[in-house]
Amino acid sequence: MQEILLSLRHITKNFGEGDILRDISLDVHRGEFVTLLGASGCGKTTTLRIISGLEMPDEGQVILDGKDMTALPPESRPVNTVFQSYALFPHMNVEKNVAYGLRVRGADKHTIATRVQEMLELVQMQDFAKRMPAQLSGGQRQRIAIARALAPQPKLLLLDEPLGALDLQLRRQMQLELKRLQKKLGITFIYITHDQEEAVNMSDRIAVMRGGRFEQLGTPEEIYDAPQTRYVAQFIGRSTILMGRVETVGAESAVVSTPNGRFTVDASRARLAAGETCELCVRTERMKASAEPVEGFDLPATVQEVRYAGGSVLTYVHLSDGAEAVATGEARMADAPQPGTRVYLHWNPAQAAVIGGASHGA
């Protein structure tokens, strides 16, 4: 059983315009990479600031390594933060920036020199020790900010959208480097982002936030393959969602009736009972379109638009009730169906998520 390093217990925060955080609780295990994912204003940064001690909660507790840290100032917590802005000292060279936290904590010169060298080698910046921040690229400055945060060996590292200012290619490269560092050092990371791809690629678990609450907490696979709410299904990736009602439930499968037809679903994806309302969520890359109906499906649609998406073709369609759907295929644009033509949608029933049902309070 994994040891819990951090516990947020019933945290509430109000800045005078309504609750920013609304009774949130979270356990983070030692050595885990947890991402807080959500749109702007959902409470991600406020949660991070409360963990670091930069904000005090109105209610609740912050327990770190078995100790109540709720009322302690930031300097008394074994926590460091990496910001999107890097926050490097412009008048200090790389070496002195990395050494800063160690000097503040009173480490001796030998310890500082050894640790700074270790950290620069860890982030592959040992040849830049005498450079000033202004002489570094964005990716290099980010590496130094990470090295500085890791140098004092914090028990917990908080990262507030640290890759947001980088271009796409460099951001993806840094994602791999950050994950490598986290696994190598075994330090617990709590990471903030609004980038769904980043969260899915890097995290052990993701907490999807909305309106100051956790909408869903789970592994990337659980969040993506089994979204518990429509918001999560639409925020993470792209999906077609069909409203429906459960007709029958068997040991392994259930039948859901929708305005666009009746479909079989995997009963293990949700605890369903006959008569309940629910929604079928089919990820765009799992929705397929064919010229003829596929056995078990009778879902005709009219093609509205076809787009090339770098190795795949996206077919945008309207269903008979006016709802929109998107199917993915590997055909060339020349072979794609033309706007105005009739196609039939289908998918693997085991890959359709069921939103609602008894497990989700429907």
Residue 16 token pair: 């005078």
The answer to whether the Cα torsion of 265, 267, 271, 274 is positive or negative is positive
**What percent of the chain clears pLDDT 70, i.e. is strictly above it?**
97
80 phi and psi, to 5 degrees? -130, 160
Of 332, 303, 337, the residue nearest 317 (C-alpha)? 303
Q: Which parts of the chain register pLDDT below 50?
A: 358-362
Measuring CA to CA, which residue among 100, 183, 176, 111 is closest to residue 144?
100
Q: In this structure, are residues 326 and 284 in contact, taking their beta carbons and an 8 Å threshold?
A: yes
Token digits for 181? 């560092």
What are the C-alpha distances in Å from 299 to residues 42, 134, 266, 267, 320? 37, 59, 18, 21, 8
Burial 246-263 (b: 16+ CB within 10 A, else e): beebeeeebbbebebbeb
Name the pTM for this structure.
0.88
Task: Give me the count of residues in the chain.
Answer: 362
CB neighbourhood size of 5 (10 A):
21
Per-residue pLDDT, 269: 67
Contact 162, 82 (CB under 8 A): yes
The string of pLDDT tens digits covering residues 82-127 is: 887 778 999 999 999 999 989 988 899 999 999 999 999 988 899 9
Q: Report pLDDT for 2.
A: 76
pLDDT in tens, 150-187: 999 999 999 998 888 778 888 888 888 889 889 988 99
pLDDT at 163: 84
Burial class (CB in 10 A: 0-12, 13-18, 19+), 321: exposed
Name residue, tokens 């429509």: 230
* Residues 299-310: tens digit of each pLDDT: 999 999 999 888
| pLDDT the model gives residue 1 | 61
Alpha carbon 201 to its chain centroid, in Å, reads: 8
